[in-house]
């Protein structure tokens, strides 16, 4: 297992390097001049040029990238153009709120998705199956910002059960987590239903029913464990998508996480912060995929990895 993990980590290096190159080139293609924003709209050209020189933006792109990647390899992600604070400090402050929201969102997704998928599979071709499948399709199709405004209008404005935004208080995370988790729950429900339908037709499931086991016990002890590999794959992918997909949700609910930090950085053309957030998203996605592979061996002891 250690050899396999070392291999996965080493194989991720070209991916991370490609991400740094793509993001570095992309942010420099964004319209707007960060030096002009920092100097002020009424600043003279000489003042703007002085700021551009202090930021190193007057150097060739390849030279700027060389300086950036050298700093990344040394653990230095640069300094924010907006407030002269280290990018690592901004990332550390914003990571915990995003992690809390993502964990809450995937918890909602797993609870709702697995339950709906199991119920739909065991109520195949019944009104329950049709209703849950239709709900899953709606959850996949509904944009997260539309769902966010619906939840705010119903539960925050009309019923006054939860706050409309912010990250203060225990109830503030409920609406953002539900908004973030609904789309993932729909995907998990569909794959769970599909896999459960394939498993429940097997001979060992019929044998378990013939032995007189309770239907719920047959589902939880015999059917569900044999569907976990593909379901776990989907959960891992959805978890990675939720981390990077929290941008819209955090913006709508004024949640001060990585998504909100990225939106603010783009508005100010804060290149170091943009690059730092996207790099962190890439590293998180790679880590989640490696962790998912490790969980395969834990869920199914027949799976063994070799270095």
Q: Which domains are assigned to the chain?
A: 2-73 (no CATH), 88-299 (1.10.3720.10)
| Structure token digits, residue 239 | 């978890």
State mean pLDDT over 166-184: 87
pLDDT at 153 over 90: yes
In 3-state terms the chain splits into helix, strand, coil percentages (rounded to 5) of: 80, 0, 20
Yes or no: say if 222 and 204 are a contact pair by the CB < 8 Å rule. Answer: yes
For the chain, what is the mean pLDDT?
84
pLDDT at 194 over 70: yes
Residue 86, phi then psi, degrees to nearest 5: -60, 140
What pLDDT score was predicted for residue 1? Answer: 66
105-143 exposure pattern, b = at least 16 Cβ within 10 A, e = fewer: bbebbbebbbebbbbbbbeeeeeebeebbebbeebeeee
Q: CA 287, CA 95: separation in Å to the nearest integer?
A: 15
Q: CA 134, CA 221: separation in Å to the nearest integer?
A: 28
| Structure token digits, residue 56 | 């190193």
Q: CA 196, CA 40: separation in Å to the nearest integer?
A: 61
Residues 6+ positions from 266 with CB-CB distance below 8 Å: 30, 274
Task: Convert the pLDDT of each residue in 46-83 to its tens digit.
Answer: 887 887 888 787 888 888 889 889 988 888 888 888 88
**Pairwise pLDDT comparison (57 vs 156), residue with the higher score:** 156
Q: Please, which pLDDT band fits residue 306 given cuts at 50, 70 and 90? A: low
Other Cβ atoms less than 10 A from the Cβ of 290: the count is 17
DSSP lists the bridge partners of residue 86 as 79
Q: Please, which pLDDT band fits residue 109 given cuts at 50, 70 and 90? A: very high
DSSP lists the bridge partners of residue 79 as 86
SS3 category, 275: helix
Residue 112, phi then psi, degrees to nearest 5: -75, -45
What pLDDT score was predicted for residue 305? Answer: 58
Distance of CA 66 to the CA centre of its chain: 29
| Structure token digits, residue 75 | 């653990």
Q: Which of 160-164, 165-169, 234-238, 254-258 has the lowest mean pLDDT?
A: 165-169
Angle 26-40-63 (CA atoms, 0-180°, nearest 5)?
A: 35
Angle 103-89-36 (CA atoms, 0-180°, nearest 5)?
A: 115
What pLDDT score was predicted for residue 302? Answer: 64
Q: Please, which pLDDT band fits residue 169 given cuts at 50, 70 and 90? A: confident
């Amino acid at each position: 297992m250690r050899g396999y993990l070392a291999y996965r980590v080493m194989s991720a290096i070209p991916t991370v390097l490609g991400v740094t190159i793509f993001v570095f080139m992309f942010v420099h293609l964004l319209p707007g001049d960060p030096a002009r924003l920092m100097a002020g709209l009424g600043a003279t050209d000489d003042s703007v040029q002085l700021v551009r020189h202090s930021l190193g933006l007057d150097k060739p792109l390849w030279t700027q990238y060389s300086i950036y990647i050298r700093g990344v390899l040394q653990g230095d992600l640069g300094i924010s153009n907006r407030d002269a604070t280290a990018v690592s400090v901004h990332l550390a402050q914003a990571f915990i709120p995003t992690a809390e929201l993502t964990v809450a969102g995937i918890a909602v997704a797993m609870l709702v998705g697995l339950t709906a998928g199991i119920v739909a599979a065991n109520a195949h071709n019944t009104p329950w199956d049709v209703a849950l499948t239709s709900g899953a399709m709606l959850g996949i199709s509904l944009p997260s910002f539309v769902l966010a405004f619906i939840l705010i209008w119903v539960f925050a404005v009309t019923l006054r059960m939860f706050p409309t935004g912010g990250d203060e208080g225990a109830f503030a995370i409920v609406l953002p987590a539900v908004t973030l988790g609904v789309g993932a729950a729909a995907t998990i429900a569909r794959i769970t239903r599909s896999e459960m339908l394939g498993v429940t037709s097997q001979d060992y499931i019929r044998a378990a029913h013939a032995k007189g086991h309770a239907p719920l016990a047959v589902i939880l002890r015999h059917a569900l464990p044999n569907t976990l590999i593909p379901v776990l794959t989907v959960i891992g992918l959805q978890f990675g998508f939720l981390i990077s997909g929290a941008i819209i949700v955090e913006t709508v609910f004024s949640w001060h996480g990585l998504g909100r930090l990225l939106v603010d950085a783009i508005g100010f053309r804060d290149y170091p912060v943009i690059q730092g957030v996207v790099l962190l998203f890439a590293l998180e996605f790679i880590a989640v995929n490696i962790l998912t592979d490790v969980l395969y061996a834990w869920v199914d002891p027949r799976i063994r990895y070799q270095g």
